[in-house]
Chains A and B, each alone.
Chain A
Amino acid sequence: MNDVTRTLSDPATWLDQHGDSLYRFALLRVRNPTTAEDLVQETLLAAWRAKDSFAGQAAERTWLIAILKNKLIDHFRRTSRETPLPDMADTDDAIDALFMEHNDHWAHPPSAWSQPDNALEQAEFWRVFQDCLAGLPARQAQAFTLTEVDGLSTEELCKALKAQPSNVWVMLHRARLRLRECLEQRWFGAQAENR
């Protein structure tokens, strides 16, 4: 029978056991070390307060990550209230430059990428990828990570970013265009030159 009920370890050991994972998880999404630390701290405190409600159905780390995800969503809501949204401006010069002015066709059409599956297995690719992600305007990077890494639906993303669907689609699209461009220049294009 497989009715193992998991129990929590001593909260005093959580930071040692899970701190690095939680921190990395948060940093990937907020990109600010201090904010990431704050979120991990809030998460551990919230977990400690809620420890009696741990049902034992998930692994301890999964449970902590779930709490952290809620903290992240709260954080995004808070920051999108506090700061106006520069990335949601109607115009974005860097994006406009990707298309020709007179007919909106590609200025430099995307080229074929060689062996993308293979790239995902290489540590160097991930360094480039993280770099490209870090180069995005903050809100676009958030929109991308929440959608593609965390699997939020458009509806959930709108709530997290306090934005209308049409805005989040534009944000996501700009994020994808920028990431694509960056990866093509720094990884896929560079590789082709070495061949």
Chain B
Amino acid sequence: MLSCKEVSLLLSKACDQKLPWRTRLAVRLHLLYCRGCTQFEKHLQVLRAAGRHLAQ
């Protein structure tokens, strides 16, 4: 089982490169029952959007 600390690192890493499918699956399973990490994934998207916004 993955911890939130591990999942958050993997979610962050997934912003920058494609994760192996097994890892992706393990992360998806974790997200099914973890609200904190689900929110964290959304927040990563907001940070990305903010970066893009700054680039303009």
Contacts and interface: CB of A to CB of B under 8 A. Distances in A.
Contacts of A169: 9, 12-13, 16
A105 B8 CA distance: 10
Interface residues of B, number: 29
User: Which of the four size classes fits the interface of chain A?
Assistant: 35 or more
A153 B17 CA distance: 9
Main secondary structure of the interface of A (DSSP, over half): helix
B50 A129 contact: yes
A154 interface: yes
A112 B42 CA distance: 9
Contact of A148 (B3, B4, B6, B47): B47
Contacts of A105: 3-5, 36
A110 B40 contact: yes
Interface in A161-195: 169-170, 172-173, 176-177, 179-180, 183-184
Interface of A: 28, 99, 103-106, 109-113, 116-117, 119-120, 129, 144-145, 147-151, 153-154, 169-170, 172-173, 176-177, 179-180, 183-184
Interface of B: 3-6, 8-9, 12-13, 15-17, 35-37, 39-40, 42-44, 46-55
Q: Report, nearest first, the 5 A-B pairs whose CB atoms are least far apart.
A: A148-B51, A109-B36, A104-B3, A104-B5, A110-B39
